[in-house]
Amino acid sequence: MILSSSSAHPGPWTAAAMVAAVVLLSTAGEVLTAAAMQSIGDLDEIRARSGMKGAIRAVITSPLFFAGVGFLALAFFALLFALNHLDLSLVAPASASLTLVTNAIAARLFLHENVDRRRWASAVFVCVGVYLLAH
Amino acid sequence: MSRHTLSPHQYLILGLVSICAPLGDTCLSRGMTHLPAITLTHPGSLISAVFTPWIAIGIALLIGFFASYLTALSWADLTYVLPATAFGNVIVALLSKFWLHEPISLERWTGIVLITIGVGFVAQGPSRTERPAETSPDVRPAVAEGERVP
């Protein structure tokens, strides 16, 4: 797929590096955000106890949350950069689907989530499904 | 909650995660295509675009997505919530088929079926990994008061 880019487009390795940058930055952002929300605790319970202000305060006082949002912002700009050089039909499905698999790996490694066979199967099914749907 | 099954309210939050992002993107797309071309020489037009109805609705939906996504991550695993975000693509594809009567290719139908099966796999399992720290009763109230857990 990457090799089919026109001569005006970057080479396959450059294209792969651009997609990889989007995927890795996005994964870092998602994992940091998830870690922040895990450390904060159940927002519904916090809101019931401390109100909406308490819930918002719990989120915006978390450094992990801002780190996650920062990486998600970087992923967004990396996506814009990639879209400036590559076709949307390549970048959108490739980054969206690969991010699901890298998130499953990162969630197991860094968040110590129990990614059992069922969740691996789900990640692969959804990854292929998103690629087919977005392509 | 020992097996981390979800309440109807939590399923509603996951539903909002699924539907708000693709609908927000669609509203932004519709709003931007109805505007004249925006150039960097007139950045003010980008600011005024924010206050047009479709783009304002799109931004409100995306804020709703982020709030419900963060809420879902506070009581469910990342690998449980992410398939829900992908399921939004299925909802939009089905809406475009049955509401806008747009054709869907065999390839896309295959994608819809695969995502649905994938979401079904995850939905049958527990929403959160069991952790010893979760049994400690003093962890969550400490965070709720704005303090850090060491």
Does any domain span residue B84? yes
Instruction: Note whether residue B1 is domain-resident.
Output: no
Q: Mind listing the pLDDT tens digit for each residue in A47-104?
A: 889 888 999 999 999 999 999 999 999 998 898 888 888 887 788 888 888 898 899 9
How many CA within 13 A on the CB side of residue A38?
A: 23
C-alpha to C-alpha distances, A14 to A19, A21, A75, A76, A90, nearest whole angstrom: 9, 10, 17, 18, 13
Cα A113 from chain centre:
16
pLDDT of residue A6: 44
CA–CA min distance A125, chain B (Å): 5
* Whole-angstrom distance, CA of residue A18 vs CA of residue A95: 10
Does residue A4 belong to any structural domain of this protein?
no
Name which of A60, A67, A61 is nearest A35 in CA terms.
A67
Domain count, chain B: 1
B101 belongs to a structural domain: yes
What residue numbers bound the domain in which A96 lies? Answer: 11-134
**Residue B2 forms part of a structural domain:** no
Mutating which of A80, A133, A135 best tests the B interface, going by the most B Cβ atoms within 10 A?
A133
More confident residue, A44 or A88: A44
Q: What is the mean pLDDT of residues A17-23?
A: 93
Query: In chain A, how many domains are there?
Result: 1
Q: Taking 50 as the threshold, does the pLDDT of residue B138 lie above it?
A: no
pLDDT for the residue B137: 46
pLDDT at B103: 85
Instruction: Quote the pLDDT of residue A71.
Output: 96
Q: How far apart are CA A105 and CA A38, in angstroms?
A: 18
Most A-contacting residue of B78, B82, B134 (CB-CB within 10 A), to test interface: B78
Q: Is residue B100 part of a domain?
A: yes
pLDDT digits 0-9 by tens, B72-93: 999 999 989 988 888 888 888 8
CB contact under 8 A, A107 and B146: no
In a domain, A88, yes or no: yes
